[in-house]
Amino acid sequence: MSEYLFEMRQIVKEFSGVRALNGIDLAVRPGECVGLCGENGAGKSTLMKVLSGVYPYGTWEGEILFDGKPLRAHSVRDSEDAGIVIIHQELMLVPQLSVAENIFLGNEIRKFGGVMDYDAMYAKAEALLARLKLKDVNVAARVSNYGGGYQQLFEIAKALAKNARLLILDEPSSSLTSSETDTLLSIIEDLKKDGVACVYISHKLEEVARVCDTVTVIRDGKHIVTKPMSEMTTHSIITAMVGREIENLFPKMEHDVGEVIFEARHVTCWDVSNPNRKRVDDISFEVRRGEIVGIAGLVGAGRTELVSAIFGAYPGRYEAEVVLEGKLMKIRSPEQAIKAGLSLVPEDRKRQGIVPMLGVGDNITLATLAQYAHAGQIDRQAELQTVDAEIKRLRVKTAGPELAIAGLSGGNQQKAVLIKMLLPQPKVLILDEPTRGVDVGSKYDIYKLMFELAAKGVAIIMVSSEMPEVLGVSDRVLVVGEGKLQGNFPNVGLTQEQVLAAAISHAAESPAHAA
């Protein structure tokens, strides 16, 4: 009998002749947490799809053993029946259904004739949530009443309801605040004690270091290393992921900070569904030429609302005065904002950044298409020339500019979205979570680009939930909490604790509620 609960051996998966996975091994013992690390595009998602039966048995080569027996899943259902449950990066809850209904979705407890046994489901849901140390949840209430942190835990409860023995968590903390992430990690530690095995996929290596016993690194579809965490450091993991030494995550470049070119005055946003509640409450700030200003705060503090109002994109009622180079601008739509000299790279790449079916090139020129046109007719060749040049400059990995952007990895999609919003040559660049779900190598490229732009005199506003990023990149840090400006610190000797203290001290409610 093998010591492993689960083993993948020499997995090979090809897409029309291209090897996405080239002989990957992965093994997990009962009660062990294995960290799976790799840059975007390294093959992690493909591997997870093989594992979970999204790619049915027979469409890949190699062998999967579960409990010492070969596992031949033909569908997700098969692998779930065996006890393998994936929790995806995007939450897969139905917001209109109740907490209990979501936990038992597809797995309902029934009375005779297909009638749902609500009493049993509520009781069991409460028991499951108690196991996750969630006590103040009304399981009959809609999921949409609870914040992102709670929802992530509901997903885990859902997995446990399926008797998961192997839990796969794909970037579970990407939309969580740091305290929520803390709760999540301690719950994983508890589950490990109960014998549940985990595969933890994350770019946040501090989390991997804390919760994982073993680390497996893959790169370009190949297995690079598997070692106990005790023998690895975050630095050695990064080196293995990237394949080269990255001395400094933040390639800081000297850049001069000039006069004030941008001012936002009295930005106030009202909640879309609750018009009495202010999401952003009278925030004013200014940014200088060539300055990088980081906006920190908890998830739900109002940072995204603040920048979308400045960009004319906030969906609800809002007020904002934007002054650019001393002139009061009239901005009520993204169209006017871009014309005025602002660009925004939105937070949610899939929903707001890319047009998935269009080609990489078509996406890149979407904001500036008129520049390549004479009397409405696009000069395709001129357009392609720009696209080719930009793809090379920012090292976007794609087989061709006409291929649909949906097929690119997250980091490369993000680069394409960045290029799209840089082509209008903005004076002020707003980046909302610019490196969310982006691999280390692409992160490095994006930071480098930011410093280059600042050196050219572009004013940059960066909203970020990653504290090291805020401190590593910004010249000045604004802290937003409860919709108000809670701090404005020059980034000289600034520490994470100071920023966090400013962000939290005013938050009366629990962070999960604010989300």
Partner 1 sequence: MQSQQIQQLFVRYKILALLIAVAIIWIFFHIKTDSAFITPGNLSNLFRQMSITGMLACGMVFVIIAGEIDLSVGSQLGLLGGVVALLTVNHGWGTWPAIGAVLVLGLLIGAFNGFVVTKMRVPSFIVGLGGMLAFRGVVLYITGSSTIAPAPDDLISLGQGFVPPSISRWIGALIFLGMAVLTARRRVRRAKLGLQQGALWIDIARVLAIGLLIFGFVRILNDANGIPIPVMILLGLLAVFTYVSTQTVFGRHIYAVGGNMEATRLSGVNVARVKLVVFALMGLMCAFAGIITVARTGSGSPSAGTGGELDAISACFIGGTSMRGGSGTVYGALIGALVMASLDSGMQLMDVDNSWQMIIKGVILALAVWVDVLSGSNRG
Instruction: Write the CB contacts of 241 (distance below 8 Å, at least 6 apart in sequence).
Output: 37, 38, 39, 42, 217, 219, 224, 439, 440, 441
- Classified as helix, coil or strand, 311 is coil
**3 state SS for 47-89:** HHHHHHCCCCCCCCEEEEEECCEECCCCCHHHHHHHCEEEECC
Please, which residue, 327 or 351, has the CB nearer to partner 1? 351
Q: Which of 127, 253, 272, 357 binds partner 1 (CB under 8 A)?
A: 357
341 in Cβ contact with 298 (< 8 Å): no
Alpha carbon distance 446, 320 (integer Å):
29
Q: Which of 35, 53, 300, 346 binds partner 1 (CB under 8 A)?
A: 346
Q: Is residue 81 involved in binding partner 1 (CB under 8 A)?
A: no
Q: Is residue 38 involved in binding partner 1 (CB under 8 A)?
A: no
Dihedral pair phi/psi, residue 63, rounded to 5°: -145, 135
Q: How far is the CB of 108 from partner 1 (least distance, A)?
A: 28
Please, which residue, 202 or 363, has the CB nearer to partner 1? 363
Q: In the range 10-29, which residues lie near partner 1 by CB under 8 A?
A: 16-18
Stretch that binds partner 1, among 237-245, 281-289, 417-425, 504-512 (CB under 8 A): 417-425
Q: Which of 97, 329, 366, 494 binds partner 1 (CB under 8 A)?
A: 366
Quote the distance between the C-alpha of residue 504 and its chain's center.
22
Q: Which of 380, 393, 395, 456 binds partner 1 (CB under 8 A)?
A: 380
Q: Is residue 373 involved in binding partner 1 (CB under 8 A)?
A: yes
- Classified as helix, coil or strand, 2 is coil
Stretch that binds partner 1, among 210-218, 280-288, 349-357, 442-450 (CB under 8 A): 349-357
- Classified as helix, coil or strand, 232 is coil
Stretch that binds partner 1, among 217-225, 297-305, 370-378, 501-509 (CB under 8 A): 370-378
CA distances, 389 to each of 206, 319, 369, 397, 474 (Å): 37, 39, 16, 13, 29
Q: Which of 212, 354, 471, 507 binds partner 1 (CB under 8 A)?
A: 354
Stretch that binds partner 1, among 255-263, 297-305, 368-376, 435-443 (CB under 8 A): 368-376
Please, which residue, 3 or 388, has the CB nearer to partner 1? 388
Stretch that binds partner 1, among 30-38, 92-100, 316-324, 352-360 (CB under 8 A): 352-360
Q: Which of 197, 313, 360, 477 binds partner 1 (CB under 8 A)?
A: 313
Q: Which of 96, 186, 385, 505 binds partner 1 (CB under 8 A)?
A: 385
156 in Cβ contact with 187 (< 8 Å): yes
Instruction: Write the CB contacts of 397 (distance below 8 Å, at least 6 apart in sequence).
Output: 41, 408, 409, 412
**Helix residue spans in 194-324 (DSSP H):** 205-211, 234-242, 303-310
Q: Which of 30, 334, 457, 472 binds partner 1 (CB under 8 A)?
A: 334
Q: How far is the CB of 250 from partner 1 (least distance, A)?
A: 27
Q: Which of 113, 259, 381, 493 binds partner 1 (CB under 8 A)?
A: 381
Quote the distance between the C-alpha of residue 308 and its chain's center.
18
Please, which residue, 59 or 186, has the CB nearer to partner 1? 59
Stretch that binds partner 1, among 79-87, 89-97, 162-170, 382-390 (CB under 8 A): 382-390
Size of residue set near partner 1 by CB under 8 A:
42
228 in Cβ contact with 33 (< 8 Å): no
Q: Is residue 377 involved in binding partner 1 (CB under 8 A)?
A: yes
CB atoms within 10 A of CB 135: 8
Q: How far is the CB of 372 from partner 1 (least distance, A)?
A: 8
* Residue 145: strand pairing partners: none
Please, which residue, 346 or 487, has the CB nearer to partner 1? 346
Contact characters 419-438, partner 1, x per CB under 8 A: -xx--x--------------
Alpha carbon distance 23, 19 (integer Å):
10
CA distances, 168 to each of 84, 163, 403 (Å): 8, 13, 30
CA distances, 231 to each of 16, 28, 189, 507 (Å): 38, 17, 20, 39
Q: Which of 209, 384, 494, 500 binds partner 1 (CB under 8 A)?
A: 384
CB atoms within 10 A of CB 283: 24
Please, which residue, 301 or 338, has the CB nearer to partner 1? 338
Q: How far is the CB of 346 from partner 1 (least distance, A)?
A: 6
Please, which residue, 140 or 355, has the CB nearer to partner 1? 355
Tell me the pairing of strands 318-324 and 327-329: antiparallel
Alpha carbon distance 328, 473 (integer Å):
29
List residues near partner 1 by CB under 8 A: 16-18, 311, 313, 333-335, 337-339, 344, 346, 351-358, 362, 366-367, 369-370, 373, 376-378, 380-382, 384-385, 388, 399-400, 403, 420-421, 424
